Structure 1
Amino acid sequence: MLSCQTDSISEEKQITNDLTYHHDLDNNDNFSPDGKWLVYDTRTDDGGIAASARIERVNIETGEKQVLFEIKNNQAWGPGAGAVSYSPKENAVVFIHGLTNSTEENPYQQWRRTGVIIHDSLPNQPIYMDARDVTFPFTPGALRGGTHRHEWSGDGAWIGYTYNDAILKALEDATGQKRNLRTIGVSRKIRSVNVDKNEENVSGEWFSALVVRVVPEPMPGTDEISHAAGDSWVGTNGYLAANGQKQIARAFLGTVKDKSGKEVSEVFIVDIPEDITQPGSLGPLEGTKDDFPMPPNGTNQRRLTYTANTHHAGCTGIVRSSPDGKSLAYFAKDEKGISQIFVISPTGGKPTQLTEHDSDVTGNVRWHPDGQHVTYVWKGSITLCKTGTESFTERIKTLTKPTNPAPTNMVWSPDGNILAFNRLVKVNDSDAAAQQVFVCKVEM
């Protein structure tokens, strides 16, 4: 049995202590650019993001908490605010905001939300990022549903996210045919997008486009996909393409059908053009009454893994890129059926198995800023694994003591000296528990 080095267990520091609500990092980029603050939402177990009325941040040195955004009289059905991420370049955060007209009959939904930006020096002054237009004729640069898990690119110029479409959800409800599919979009601050104002429409300050094509029923044995998620930016500033140029892209998991028609998640990548304002060959940027907004001219969607034909098909997790853009990390099963971390180049090729544990790796994989280490959860502990040619036992060490439930939502500080994460802390002797923020200093 392989064992981890345990002489490196770091001292944990609990940063939040209020047991009356969750402090959820949600597997995002939660550190401020200076590494002094962590931002989180206040979702509930029953209501989720819809019931989160606040976006807060906490100072990791002093424990001071500040409210960046608050929805007065928020209800269990919304509007809700959550899944917040810091910009790597500005003192600003972006998060989900449910539609302000949410009611118990028409609540927060995957297809009824937008992205909102708050500058931390200007709390409660929302900037609506992506425009939403559900009134035909639709508007180029606007979407028609809801964006989720927003992530700034390394240069702060783009925001990527997953997306669900309200027009196609309504079509699915009317016809009974599968149309409510998840896909991936991006926004860039090219120009503001103004739409006809009503309670369902939102004007936005950034130009938005969907970049991944999904279809309800992929042809078995092809690279068509019905679902795209688990996405993140490739590299701090893209990856080096075959032409020697840096290419901005998002890596993600796409759901294909194998030759027998069974659904399998595989790693994909989509190259994104600098100019997302020009429609591509598949159709208009704004979409039609019966189909999605289509990717801009110059997008290139490619499949990277082919596990569908193996004994242990499928990939899981969020696909995470090394800072230099050379390696994409994800979870998949090894030849023994054990979940491990694999890495693959964004240009394709054979995947490399990074971990060799004797039981499943879990949690979320995150790259250290040095690009030479990844963290994940194994047997209830946060584990650090070095890339390289040394033996596996020499490359791994345990950072935290094992707990049940295990730590979640890990995120590295910009300088790589501090690892933050969530841990459930019990409320007295009851069964209730509150998600708290912890940090530990890590010596590499």
Structure 2
Amino acid sequence: MASEQQLTFDARGHQLTNINVWTADSQWLAYDVRPKGSDFSGLTIERINIASGEVETLYRAGDGAHVGVVTVSAETPPRYVFIHGPEHPDNHWRYDFHHRRGVILAPHKSATPVTLDAFDITPPFTPGALRGGSHVHVFSPDSSRLSFTYNDHLMYEWHSAEDLRNVGVALAGHPIYISKAHPREYDGSHFCVLVSQTTATPQAGSDDINRAYEEGWIGQQGYLHADGRRQRWALAFIGDTLSAQGEKLPEVFVVDLPENDKDYASAGAAPLQGSETRLPAPPAGVVQRRLTYTAHRRFPGVVLQPRHWLRTSPDGSTIAFLMKDDNGIVQVWGISPTGGEPWPISHAATDIQSAFNWHPQGDMLALVCDNSVMLLDVASGEMRRLTPRSEQAPSGDAVVFSPDGCWVAFMREIAGFAQLFVTPV
């Protein structure tokens, strides 16, 4: 059994995001300092060297704003993207799902981050800008674009039932400038669109969803269709359907995306920028597909606890997610992005307890089970403990391989605060 190394020791929360927390050289871990994952009151984005213990403060928020949920690009030198709350918050405008933005920090170029998503809430709205809050921003494997989840300010103000969570994509090299008719509006460095399709009134027993979330990029280079065609860009996500009996049933969905950046500017059935009574809509050529149909199972639906994000093997062939087996035990399951029946990857005697990530070689997953950080062999389903079984399980929020595949980063709660740990593979 491998040993574990505690990296942080002070009385602050140290929060890892669920993916892309390592620099490309596998030497530094990026994190924020929220007291708890649900308490968005951290002021700094930091990183720590796993060999020396050296800590660097990458960014400190000011003017009453808070920051968190940092992820790292795969480039050298790296860029860091994270959630930034509003400056000068007041009772009318403060941090919320629909009042937050993504910012990208390139410390080798500037100490000041650049706002990712433009914000425009004054008609006529601007294609490529958003009207709400983006969060959990994740670079694509080649660092050329980002995914995010989104909530809309205008829909919240107009009719909260229409404030539906969606998945979006941000494209670099296409900055958006707006007129700034409202004091809270701002420009953005990326062209941003929503790519999921939701409705506030899904039809029971249909493929309609009223929520899209916990997305992940498919493959290092996308995936292959059954006929051998490569789908270069695609995201997997959880979508909330309604069963024939009208009960919420989370299922696995895929959205196939255009290959050329210019195609994202072409509107589909509705305006990219939305309207005063309608959410922004996906571009033309975006195809949303449902993969899982689990209503017939003894324990149907993707499980939402532990919270996890859909993660795909490096070759794009397998989307992994959590679902209960016929004994009611939470297991890791796999499904092809082209469809078909899901299959069990794990065969654990007790519940999987965490989010998970794939080893860079695609043969293992790292996760928490039986109060230990485990390696799960994808082919055999066998598990190997990386850390001793503890009375309190490691945090389920993040269990992340280093890019070289030699380390797993995770968190434990010590004296009421999350602390960072690594264990060798």
Displacement of 1:248: 0.8
Give the Cα separation in 2 of the matches to 1:102 and 1:236: 39
Preserved contact between residue 166 and residue 196 of structure 2 (Cα < 8 Å): yes
Preserved contact between residue 340 and residue 357 of structure 1 (Cα < 8 Å): yes
Give the Cα separation in 2 of the matches to 1:228 and 1:84: 21
Alignment deviations for residues 210-267 of structure 1 (CA, whole Å, 9 cap, x no partner): 0001111100111000011111100112112345224211100000001111110000
Preserved contact between residue 385 and residue 396 of structure 1 (Cα < 8 Å): yes
Displacement of 1:128: 0.8
- Within a 5 Å distance, the mapping from 1:85-104 to structure 2 comes to 85-90=71-76, 91-104=78-91
Quick check: 1:286 aligned with 2:293? Answer: no
Give the Cα separation in 2 of the matches to 1:346 and 1:371: 16
1:136 is aligned to 123
Query: Which residue of 10, 13, 36 maps to 1:18?
Result: 10
Runs of at least 4 residues of structure 1 off by over 6 A? none
Query: Which residue of 51, 54, 70 maps to 1:84?
Result: 70
Preserved contact between residue 132 and residue 202 of structure 1 (Cα < 8 Å): yes
Residue 222 and residue 233 in structure 1: after superposition, are their counterparts in 2 closer, same or farther (change >3 A)? Answer: same
- Within a 5 Å distance, the mapping from 1:104-115 to structure 2 comes to 104-115=91-102
Quick check: 1:41 aligned with 2:32? Answer: yes
Quick check: 1:52 aligned with 2:38? Answer: no
Quick check: 1:127 aligned with 2:110? Answer: no
Alignment deviations for residues 23-50 of structure 1 (CA, whole Å, 9 cap, x no partner): 100313100111111110111239712x
Give the Cα separation in 1 of the matches to 2:311 and 2:61: 32
Give the Cα separation in 2 of the matches to 1:218 and 1:202: 33
Displacement of 1:278: 2.9
Instruction: Give the partner amino acid of 1:199.
Output: P
Residue 404 and residue 158 in structure 1: after superposition, are their counterparts in 2 closer, same or farther (change >3 A)? Answer: farther
Preserved contact between residue 279 and residue 295 of structure 1 (Cα < 8 Å): no
Instruction: Give the partner amino acid of 1:415.
Output: D
Quick check: 1:172 aligned with 2:163? Answer: no
Preserved contact between residue 393 and residue 412 of structure 2 (Cα < 8 Å): yes
* More off after superposition, 100-109 vs 51-60: 100-109
Query: Which residue of 270, 273, 296 maps to 2:255?
Result: 270
Residue 286 and residue 73 in structure 1: after superposition, are their counterparts in 2 closer, same or farther (change >3 A)? Answer: closer
2:230 is aligned to 245
Displacement of 1:379: 1.4
Displacement of 1:15: 1.1
Displacement of 1:82: 0.6
Give the Cα separation in 2 of the matches to 1:100 and 1:199: 12
Give the Cα separation in 2 of the matches to 1:46 and 1:140: 33
- The answer for unaligned runs of 5 or more in structure 1 is 1-8, 427-432
Displacement of 1:104: 4.2
- Within a 5 Å distance, the mapping from 1:45-444 to structure 2 comes to 45=36, 48-49=39-40, 51-72=41-62, 74=64, 79-90=65-76, 91-122=78-109, 124-173=111-160, 178-197=161-180, 198-241=182-225, 242-274=227-259, 275=261, 276-316=263-303, 317-388=308-379, 390=380, 392=381, 395-408=382-395, 409-426=398-415, 433-442=416-425
Preserved contact between residue 158 and residue 186 of structure 1 (Cα < 8 Å): yes
Preserved contact between residue 101 and residue 200 of structure 1 (Cα < 8 Å): no
Alignment deviations for residues 249-292 of structure 1 (CA, whole Å, 9 cap, x no partner): 11000000011111100000101113343334321111111111
Residue 101 and residue 72 in structure 1: after superposition, are their counterparts in 2 closer, same or farther (change >3 A)? Answer: closer
Instruction: Give the partner amino acid of 2:356.
Output: V
Residue 28 and residue 255 in structure 1: after superposition, are their counterparts in 2 closer, same or farther (change >3 A)? Answer: same
Q: Alignment length, in residue pairs? A: 414
Percentage of matched positions with identical amino acids: 36
Instruction: Give the partner amino acid of 2:84.
Output: H
Alignment deviations for residues 115-173 of structure 1 (CA, whole Å, 9 cap, x no partner): 10011335631111111111111100001001110000011111001100001000125
Give the Cα separation in 1 of the matches to 2:271 and 2:391: 49
Preserved contact between residue 39 and residue 56 of structure 1 (Cα < 8 Å): yes
SS at match of 1:169: helix
Preserved contact between residue 425 and residue 436 of structure 1 (Cα < 8 Å): yes
Give the Cα separation in 1 of the matches to 2:128 and 2:168: 11
SS at match of 2:208: coil
SS at match of 1:277: helix
Preserved contact between residue 70 and residue 124 of structure 1 (Cα < 8 Å): no
* More off after superposition, 297-306 vs 119-128: 119-128
Instruction: Give the partner amino acid of 2:5.
Output: K
Displacement of 1:435: 1.1
Give the Cα separation in 2 of the matches to 1:168 and 1:73: 27
SS at match of 2:333: strand
Preserved contact between residue 299 and residue 324 of structure 2 (Cα < 8 Å): yes
Instruction: Give the partner amino acid of 1:434.
Output: F
Displacement of 1:404: 4.1
Aligned-residue RMSD, C-alpha:
1.5
Give the Cα separation in 2 of the matches to 1:111 and 1:243: 40
SS at match of 2:239: strand
Preserved contact between residue 15 and residue 36 of structure 2 (Cα < 8 Å): no
Alignment deviations for residues 186-226 of structure 1 (CA, whole Å, 9 cap, x no partner): 00113110012243212011111000011111001110000
Preserved contact between residue 63 and residue 87 of structure 2 (Cα < 8 Å): no
1:3 is aligned to none
* More off after superposition, 338-347 vs 194-203: 194-203
Give the Cα separation in 2 of the matches to 1:405 and 1:100: 38
| TM-score after normalising by structure 1 | 0.90
Residue 273 and residue 402 in structure 1: after superposition, are their counterparts in 2 closer, same or farther (change >3 A)? Answer: same
Give the Cα separation in 1 of the matches to 2:345 and 2:51: 34
